[in-house]
Amino acid sequence: MAIDITAISPNPALLDLPWSVPLEDWPEEHLAALPRGISRHVVRFVRLGQEVIAVKEISEPLARREFQTLRNLRRLGQPAVEPLAVVSGRVAGDGTALDACLITRHLRFSLPYRAVFSQRLRDDTARRTLDALAVLLVRLHLAGVFWGDVSLSNTLFRRDAGDFAAYLVDAETAEIHPELSRGQREHDLFVAHGNIAGELMDLEAGGHLDEGEDPIEIANRIMHRYDLLWNELTSEERFERGDRWKVDERIRRLNNLGFDVDELEMSTDLDGTTIRIQPKVVDAGHHSRRLMRLTGLDVEENQARRLLNDLDSYRAATHRQGDDEELVAHAWLNQIYEPITRTVPPQLRDKLEPAEIFHELLEHRWYLSERAGHDIPIEDTVRDYVATVLPGRPDEVTVLGVDTEEIPITAILDS
């Protein structure tokens, strides 16, 4: 048998697999026991040396088309499985021609939706898992990708180091365009709603959906989350220099929708400044772990999220998106976080943790900037915070012992 292997990085071990045998009949010695989703084609997970690959039996034209589509999706930085090879020219022992096989790398730590929902999930975990599908669909549409067959079955869910992410695993019908029309997006949403509702009904029939949950309502919620996220990410907004408070406001709106910011990019041109924000869905504790890794600060989760938002905003405002994240975090720590947390008078530093002080000052600065319609300098923020916020706290005026308006701002900043 003369098989043809088209591969990105050919692995000689591929030649040892039983290509003359229909995929559904491959012996157990080659297979890896991993959960599989529902597919219209035969799919098997196969051991290949130290790694695991997914092999899908499909006609050669479709296999080559999907292979190229997945390569293009990877070039665009979209969440999709990694294509490795197409194997064609397969012939069975009796001379019968066999379909080609598309080979992709198994996405570690990922699960099909049936495996996810067969476990007992907390309400928040289930919601965030489905939110991840809304994020995936928005990301693809923003990149000009028409999926064509949106469903839970064609998606893998990955939970790794606190992240929740959905990956496109079946690109048979996907098309990549410079930009999608409204009709193309609406077609994807129409197909998605029907497929998702049907798949959830199947889970319900198998006793894997929490009692009282309505598959139609869940599908409606995913579509609603998509609409909210799409509108927030695609609405045009122009910023002038000194409007950093508007960046914070944009992040707040995403946070209020339940999404956290993964990437934030600002670009400046002759007409002003534009912003691009990439959301992600994260598990509890993700922000505190990330902040600890970057800065060594050990704070509560909500505090960490606020600090990381400011770090991302600082990174964009200083045009350091291409710099190493740890280097930017070190600069932010020395130039922003530590100077601000030292602005509280020594007599009051035991009242609040430094991270909470930083959070309150940022909140106060955002409030003042929104009211004024432009960025308020940190010096003015500290002056107003010490004069109007601290006196309202229990016992803080007596601890301070002096009129806050008499404290020179330079003394505060230098203390």
| Residue-level pLDDT at 338 | 87
C-alpha to C-alpha distance for 307 and 302, rounded to whole angstroms: 9
Burial class (CB in 10 A: 0-12, 13-18, 19+), 102: buried
User: Each residue's pLDDT tens digit in the chain (415 positions)?
Assistant: 578 999 888 788 898 899 999 999 999 889 887 766 667 789 999 988 888 999 999 999 999 999 999 999 999 888 899 999 999 999 998 889 999 999 999 987 788 888 777 665 566 667 777 888 998 999 899 889 999 999 998 999 886 445 568 899 999 999 999 999 999 999 999 999 999 999 989 888 888 777 778 889 989 999 998 998 888 887 766 666 666 677 777 777 777 776 777 666 666 665 666 666 676 666 556 778 888 889 888 877 778 888 888 888 888 778 887 788 889 999 999 988 888 878 777 766 665 677 877 888 888 888 888 888 888 887 888 888 877 776 565 443 333 333 434 434 343 344 3
The CATH number that domain 4-106 falls under is: 3.30.200
**Domain made up of 111-234: CATH architecture:** Orthogonal Bundle (1.10)
Length of the chain (residues): 415
C-alpha to C-alpha distance for 379 and 411, rounded to whole angstroms: 11
C-alpha to C-alpha distance for 77 and 38, rounded to whole angstroms: 26
Task: Copy the structure tokens of residue 201.
Answer: 């009904």
DSSP conformational letter for 392: G
C-alpha to C-alpha distance for 297 and 295, rounded to whole angstroms: 5
Task: Copy the structure tokens of residue 276.
Answer: 């691009």
Q: In what order do the strands lie in the sheet with 110-112?
A: 110-112, 155-160, 163-168, 272-282, 260-269
Query: Residues with Cβ < 8 Å from 390, sequence gap 6 or more?
Result: 348, 396, 397, 400, 404
**Greatest Cα-to-Cα distance within the chain, rounded to the nearest angstrom:** 96
Helices assigned H by DSSP within 275-337: 286-295, 301-317, 325-332
- Say if residues 55 and 32 touch (Cβ distance below 8 Å): no
pTM > 0.85: yes or no: no
**Would you tell me the crossing angle of helices 215-234 and 244-256 to the nearest 10 degrees?**
170
| Residue-level pLDDT at 410 | 40
Terminal-residue alpha carbon distance, the chain: 80
Of 156, 178, 177, 176, the residue nearest 165 (C-alpha): 156
- Say if residues 299 and 307 touch (Cβ distance below 8 Å): yes
- Say if residues 165 and 129 touch (Cβ distance below 8 Å): no
- Say if residues 66 and 102 touch (Cβ distance below 8 Å): yes
Task: Copy the structure tokens of residue 311.
Answer: 């770090």
- Say if residues 250 and 237 touch (Cβ distance below 8 Å): yes
Of 73, 107, 110, 68, the residue nearest 85 (C-alpha): 68
- For 263, phi then psi, to 5°, come to -130, 145
